Amino acid sequence: MTLLPQTRAIVTGAARKDGIGWAVAHLFILNGAQVVLIDLDQEMVQSAATELGAAGAIACDVSDQGAVRTAVAQAVAPLGGLDCVVNSAGIVNANRLSDITDADWHRMIDVNLGGTFNLLQSTIPALTEGKNASFVAISSMAGMRGGGLLGSSHYAASKAGILGLVKGAARELGPAKIRVNALAPGIVDTSMTRGKFGPDWEKMLLDQIPLGRFASPDDIAKACLFLASDLSCYMTGVTLDVNGGYFLH
Ligand code: NAP
C-alpha cells in the first residue's frame, strides 16, 4: 500500500543526498507522490531530481518572497495542482549571543522563519484546491529548548517562530481544509551535524538519548510521511517531536 497516491508535493531543501529534504522526497516518491524539489543551487537540485525521479527541480532562495511565488507557480503548473508541501530548507549557526551580527540575525530569521512563511503564503491558493492538503514545516527541538547544541539563540528563535506560525495558520486554514503541522527533529545525522560535536560531546549526547542514537534522515522522513498522509487527517497545529526521547517535556 502506498500512502500518498495521486499526491502532488513540493519539498524544499531537498538537494543534499544526506539531508532531510532528500529523504522526504525519496519516501514520498516511493509512496506514489509526484514531487517537485526546491533548493538553492540549480545544478544540485537538478541532479537530485534526476536521481530521485522527481517531477521537477527549481532553484530558489526561500527567503525571497517574489522568488518563492514564482517557484511555486512553476512547480504547480506541471503537477496540475498541489496537495502537500514540506519546507525543509534551513540554516544553522552556533554563534554566541554577543557575536551574532545584524546580518546573521536577519539571515537566520529570513531563511528559517521567513522561508516557512513565504512557502505557506504562496501555496495557500493551490492547497485550497488540493486533496487532504497538508503543509509540514520543519522546526527543531532547538525551538523548544532554546538551542544550546549547534544552533544558538537566533536559530532557536527562528525555529520557535515556526511553531507559532504553524498554530496560527492551522487555526486560520482549517476551514479551507488545509492542515498545517510542525515537525521538531532532535539531532539528525546530516551534513548539518556530522563531525561537528567531537567524540566526547557526541558520547555525552548519545548517553542522554533514550533510544541511544541520533536520528537518520529517514526517521524524520517517516514522520513527515505520517503528517502528509491521510493517517494524520484529524491533526492540525501540532508539533511532532522526533527526538528519540532526548527532549521530553
Ligand atoms: P541540510 O542537509 O543542510 O539541508 C538543508 C538544505 O536547505 C540544503 O540543501 C541547503 O542548501 C538548503 N537551503 C539553505 N538555505 C536555503 C535557502 N535560503 N533557500 C533554499 N534552500 C536553502 O540540513 P538538514 O539537516 O537536512 O536540515 C533540514 C532542516 O531540518 C533544516 O530546516 C534544519 O534546521 C532542520 N533540522 C535539522 C536538524 C539536524 O540535526 N540535522 C535538527 C533539527 C532540525 P545549501 O546546503 O546549498 O546551503
Is the CB of 93 within 6 Å of ligand 1? no
Among the CATH numbers 3.40.1160.10, 1.10.1060.10, 3.40.50.720, 3.40.630.30, which is that of 8-235?
A: 3.40.50.720
Mean pLDDT of 191-210: 94
Q: Is the separation of the CB atoms in 244 and 213 below 8 Å? A: yes
Is the CB of 61 within 6 Å of ligand 1? yes
What are the tens digits of pLDDT across the range 60-101?
A: 999 999 999 999 999 999 999 999 999 999 999 999 999 999
Entry pTM: 0.98
Q: Which CA distances in Å does 125 have to 58, 140, 173?
A: 19, 27, 11
Beta-ladder partners of 38: 12, 58
Per-residue model confidence (pLDDT) at position 124 = 98
Q: pLDDT over 70 for what percent of the chain? A: 100
The Å distance, Cα 80 to ligand 1 centre, comes to 27
- pLDDT over 90 at 44, yes or no: yes
Mean pLDDT of 105-133: 97
- pLDDT over 90 at 1, yes or no: no
Q: Residue 20 corresponds to which cell in the numbers above?
A: 532531510
Per-residue model confidence (pLDDT) at position 148 = 82
Query: Considering only CA atoms, which residue is closest to atom 45 of ligand 1?
Result: 40
- pLDDT over 90 at 185, yes or no: yes
The dihedrals phi and psi of 131, each to the nearest 5 degrees, come to -110, 140
User: Would you list the domain boundaries of the chain?
Assistant: 8-235
What are the tens digits of pLDDT across the range 4-33?
A: 999 999 999 999 999 999 999 999 999 999
Is the CB of 151 within 6 Å of ligand 1? no
Q: Mind giving me the DSSP string for the chain?
A: --SSTT-EEEEES---TTSHHHHHHHHHHHTT-EEEEEES-HHHHHHHHHHHT-SEEEE--TT-HHHHHHHHHHHHHHHTS--EEEE---------GGG--HHHHHHHIIIIIIHHHHHHHHHHHHHHTSSSEEEEEE--THHHHT--SSS-HHHHHHHHHHHHHHHHHHHHHGGGTEEEEEEEE--B-STTTTTSS-HHHHHHHHHH-TT-SPBPHHHHHHHHHHHHSGGGTT--S-EEEESTTSS--
Q: Tell me what the pLDDT averaged over the chain comes to.
A: 97
Per-residue model confidence (pLDDT) at position 36 = 98
- pLDDT over 90 at 38, yes or no: yes
Mean pLDDT of 212-221: 98
Atom of ligand 1 nearest to the CA of 64: 18
Atom of ligand 1 nearest to the CA of 22: 26
Is the CB of 218 within 6 Å of ligand 1? no
Mean pLDDT of 158-166: 98
Q: pLDDT over 90 for what percent of the chain? A: 97
Q: Is the separation of the CB atoms in 211 and 38 below 8 Å? A: no
Active site residue 246: no
